[in-house]
Amino acid sequence: MNMEYRRLGNSGLYVSALSFGSWVTFGNQVDDTLGIDMLRTAYENGINFFDNAEVYAHGKSEEIMGNALAKLGWSRDTYTVSSKVMWGGSKPTQRGLNRKHIFDACHAAMKRLRVDYLDLYFCHRPDLRTPIEETVRAMSDLVSQGKVMYWGTSEWSAAQLNEAHGIARELGLHPPTMEQPEYNLLKRDKVEGEYAPLYGRGLGTTIWSPLASGILTGKYSKGIPDDSRMNLPGYEWLRKKVETPEGRRQIEIAGKLQAIADELETSLACMAVAWCLKNPNVSTVILGASRLSQLEENLKSLEVVPKLTDEVMGRIEEIVANKPKPPTDWLA
């Protein structure tokens, strides 16, 4: 399979169209040995971006990834790695997007990941208690210090992104380069709707949960398998979500999409990831996997993209029926 590389927004950095992240899995379902195998498989298939966060398994996820990176010993200029700041611990100074926590968290993440700079550093959510200017200054300073190459946000509103850009412009600081939103066949509002005006200005996106935590593999139609993330302690909220009427509706939609995947002679997982890749405003789709076979399977999604013709996309659209309404052009 030939990996595709996409420009991260209007930066000069090219990230692999498929990337690999560790939320839920590293530290809960993936140990040091499997972590190495997964990173190696990803890298050998052209993946050059590995996603992480301080909060994932309370730091353990970054430790496992850091151990794997050290063991694999790839040249530092051949891959990119991220962390995210927001929830570092329970004490008031260990959370949020204030200057102190941003700096402490960055230093701690570099130590756990065993790297001397982070390529991408995300504000994991907006912090309504810290002035955006303080956050923009702190992130920009990390870039100036060479500890971070590019900074970005995750699940910020378009208004918050605009504010951050305005502050950066006004004060001559480094603006955010990328945003990490959820995007999949069941969740499209931000990427296709709210952010639409921002792409022209060069916003890159590193999108998460392309399979909606496994719903878009179709496997939950037969009930939740014992070894799924839905059964992990601490993730009861995720299970509850799929057991709501909305969750059941989504599982039904996945069942209908399965028929199209069968026709295309691919898995629903690959079709769902390929559907995300079709969107040119997606810089990279972050894959998640609790075992090697899932990663190997999902890597095949690049081959499915050409099968998603306009006709097939139209049929998918009819099933999901959730295309966000574009802003009204009052001059049309």
Write out the residues near ligand NDP by the rule CB under 6 A.
21-25, 51, 154-155, 180, 208-214, 217, 219, 228-229, 269, 286-290, 294, 297-298
Q: How far apart are CA 295 and CA 44, in angstroms?
A: 12
- DSSP state letters, 235-264: -HHHHHHHTSHHHHHHHHHHHHHHHHHHHT
Q: How far apart are CA 261 and CA 68, in angstroms?
A: 34
Q: How many helices (H) and strands (E) does the chain have?
A: 12, 10
56 is catalytic: yes
Q: Which residue in 132, 162, 178, 166 sits closest to 19, CA to CA? A: 178
One-letter identity of residue 38:
M
Q: Which residue in 82, 97, 201, 208 sits closest to 151, CA to CA? A: 82
Catalytic residue among 43, 56, 79, 150: 56
Q: How far is the CB of 327 from ligand NDP (least distance, A)?
A: 25
Give the list of residues 6+ apart from residue 293 with CB closer than 8 angstroms, or none. none
Query: Hey, which residues are catalytic here?
Result: 56
